[in-house]
Amino acid sequence: MLVGAIPAWLSGSKASAYAVTHPSPKASKATKTGVKSILIPVKVGSVQLALSKLAVGNSVSASFVDTTGANKPILVHRKSAKEVVAYSAICTHSGCTVGAGAKTFVCPCHGSTYDSTTGAVINGPAPKSLAPFPVVVQSGALFIKG
């Protein structure tokens, strides 16, 4: 595999933590996109979230900056010593920012609750689950795989 250039929106950051990988010509026929993945840091405020700072069974409100430069609020939950999940923090009912909790995530606007381990709706009025994001742990830090 070849490592591509670091995107302009990541300039000035720790570039060694991010790699855009391009598959070999053989693999590119199967993927058709050319770009396999990019790792985007998960942050709480301005600090990158370390796995060691999130106890098993706990959740935290965090964010990441997507490839367009937009800040995306997320909820991160540590299910076990080795499993971490992340979901959009945007309520599927009216777009309010959902808050983190150990067992549930709660929308402050209309009281929708979501399961912190699955993102599924427990109580409405939210019509559907929170959108999941793939999480990768690398060198003890959390990243969204984009």
Torsion sign across C-alpha atoms 95, 42, 130, 117:
negative
User: What 3-state class would DSSP assign to 27?
Assistant: helix
Task: State whether 103 and 48 are in the same domain.
Answer: yes
Per residue in 106-125, pLDDT (tens digit) is 999 998 999 999 999 998 89
Among left, alpha and beta (phi > 0; psi -120 to 50; other), residue 125 is alpha
Q: How confident is the model at residue 35 (pLDDT cuts 50, 70, 90)?
A: low
Task: State whether 55 and 126 are in the same domain.
Answer: yes
Provide the terminal-to-terminal Cα distance of the chain, rounded to the nearest Å. Answer: 18
Residue 3 is encoded by which pair of tokens? 């490592």
Task: State whether 73 and 26 are in the same domain.
Answer: no
State how far the Cα of 146 lies from the Cα of 16, in Å rounded to an integer. 16
Range of the structural domain that residue 19 is part of: 1-36
pTM over 0.85: no
Task: State whether 74 and 9 are in the same domain.
Answer: no
Task: State whether 74 and 128 are in the same domain.
Answer: yes
Per residue in 41-66, pLDDT (tens digit) is 899 888 889 999 999 999 999 999 98
Pairing mode, strands 104-106 and 2-3:
unpaired
Please, what is the average pLDDT of the chain?
Answer: 77
Q: In 10 A of CB 53, how many CB atoms?
A: 15
Q: How many domains does the chain have?
A: 2
Task: State whether 59 and 115 are in the same domain.
Answer: yes
**70 has a pLDDT exceeding 80:** yes
Range of weakest confidence among 2-16, 33-47, 86-100, 124-138: 2-16
User: H helices of the chain, where?
Assistant: 25-31
**37 has a pLDDT exceeding 80:** no
